[in-house]
Amino acid sequence: MSFTFADIPMQTGRTAIVTGANTGIGFEIARWLAHKGARVLLACRDGDKAAEAIAQIEYGKEQGGEAEYLHLDLANIASVRDAARQAAKEERIDILVNNAGVMMPPFATATSGCELQFAVNHLGHFAFTSLLLEKLAEGDGGRVVTQSSLAHRGADIDFENFNGSKGYDKQDFYGQSKLANLLFTRELDRRLRASGSSVSALACHPGIAASELMRHLKGGKFMSSIVGSVLNTAEQGALPALQAATDPDAEGGEYYGPYGFMEARGNSSGRAVQSKRARDEDLARRLWDKSVELTGIDPELAPA
């Protein structure tokens, strides 16, 4: 059965953080959570763009909906630490949506000299999530939702080339970062279950949706408009994350997405297809340990 916007439960009294929420899919996730009564922190690099986004949100004020800016630069571990400290001052955090990302940019490096896509899409979110797990656990049933992609299929983790010194194929590195998102989600949820935590970790993908992610592609703006009219709009692309974040029946460790036309379009329809590598527990554990090493941040969750 398809999950629609009408199926999103009221979020009154709950607090959510959405990374990359100033535009595209992230904005739609934040907008709908606020509309349903949640307090939403838009975790973004650019305060001016976040302010513009907040001004466009129609809050469910009668239910207590509101939105505020939280500065977060996922390419900078010091910024990640600062953002987590600030967020931890909230009375509660119920939902963390790791949505921000960069896709196929010119070569650059960030955290520990790692290639930018891996550093932002995976390492930044690994660190931010790790630092907020204690706060998420203060409530009952906190959720971590991480945005993956169809691009994880066919991808692998190249532990010998995180810095791109042995060659940089922007598409391969993007796929690697999205596979890392899925591996992290599954390993995080296993460890949370083993520790007896009430927090669960889920993953999702938007199908192929209009998004600012296409800005680094030649003709990206035109491509985004075509995608939005033929496949998914940014609003439709937000539904899998919203299902993972709010559906009472959504389960930890699962992966949500659309089923229409090779999972590329349509409303969220439940569990999506994960590649064999995404289900490799040994690979997930190895990536976990390497992520702790590269970020210097340890969630201190024993392996399941």
Closest among 241, 245, 251 to 143, alpha carbons compared: 245
DSSP labels, 63-84: GT-EEEEEE--TT-HHHHHHHH
Can 174 be counted among the known catalytic residues?
yes
Q: What distances in angstroms separate CA 294 from CA 42, 107, 162, 170, 304, one per listed residue?
A: 26, 19, 10, 21, 22
Bridge-based pairing of strands 39-44 and 15-19 is: parallel
Separation between Cα atoms, residue 233 and residue 224, nearest integer Å: 9
DSSP state of 214: G
Q: How many CA atoms lie within 13 A of 267 on its CB side?
A: 10
Amino acid at site 180: A
Bridge-based pairing of strands 95-98 and 143-147 is: parallel
Is-contact 251 202, C-beta < 8 A?
A: yes
Separation between Cα atoms, residue 83 and residue 63, nearest integer Å: 27
Beta strands in the chain (DSSP E): 15-19, 39-44, 66-71, 95-98, 143-147, 200-204, 255-259, 265-271
Separation between Cα atoms, residue 244 and residue 145, nearest integer Å: 6
Is-contact 103 213, C-beta < 8 A?
A: yes
Is-contact 81 96, C-beta < 8 A?
A: no
Q: Considering 59, 69, 168, 174, which one is annotated as catalytic?
A: 174
- Residues annotated as catalytic (active site), given as ranges: 174
